[in-house]
Amino acid sequence: MTKHIQVQLNALFGPRRPTRWVTRERPKIDRIACPWLIRRFLDSDAEFLYVPTAQVSEAATREGAAAFDIPGAAFSHFGEKCSFDAFLEYFALDDAGLATLAPIVRGADTDRHGLAPEAAGLHALSLGLAANFADDHQLLAQGLVIYDALYSWATRAKGERHDWRP
């Protein structure tokens, strides 16, 4: 973790670790992409709470957590961008793989699939995961695997083609 990221986390949480984050229940797209980003780039032990929308602010205060992907939160949609973008900008995450993922997540999360060809696929996978898992933490666990795979594609396999024809 860079010193810049540590300073930013300290501004949000002080020395307390693991960090705690809270958002709306039944996560899809942004509410899985952001925890993936946090766990992989900011705090591998971060804890996530999923609560009913009306309880996010109260839960954040009670649990000493940072709210995300909800209006009024520091990490939420702004202009044409989504919460994933807010994290990238706030923490100044300058990473080629994340730059590739950003328009995919944004396109899937804002129903603008034209931003990246992969956005429609991410949207479909996210809806399918939500249909398969009733428990939000199980859903998150499976979603982390998908975002790990997307990041691996973005950093190691993006140019690879698959055109085998018998």
The DSSP symbol for 24 reads E
Cβ(122)–Cβ(153) under 8 Å? Answer: no
Low-confidence ranges of the chain (pLDDT < 50): none
pLDDT, tens only, 64-83: 999 999 998 989 999 999 99
Identity at 79, one-letter amino acid code: G
With respect to residue 159, please indicate whether it lies within any of the assigned structural domains: no
pLDDT at 110: 96
Query: Would 161 be classed as within a structural domain?
Result: no
Q: What is the pLDDT of residue 126?
A: 97
Instruction: Domain count for the chain, please give it.
Output: 1
CA dist 66 and 78 (Å) reads 17
Residue 60 lies in a domain: yes
- Residue 155 covered by a domain: no
For residue 81, the tally of other CB atoms under 10 A from its CB is 18
pLDDT at 16: 87
Q: Which domain holds residue 17?
A: 3-150
Q: Is residue 24 in a domain?
A: yes
> Is residue 9 one of the residues assigned to a domain?
yes
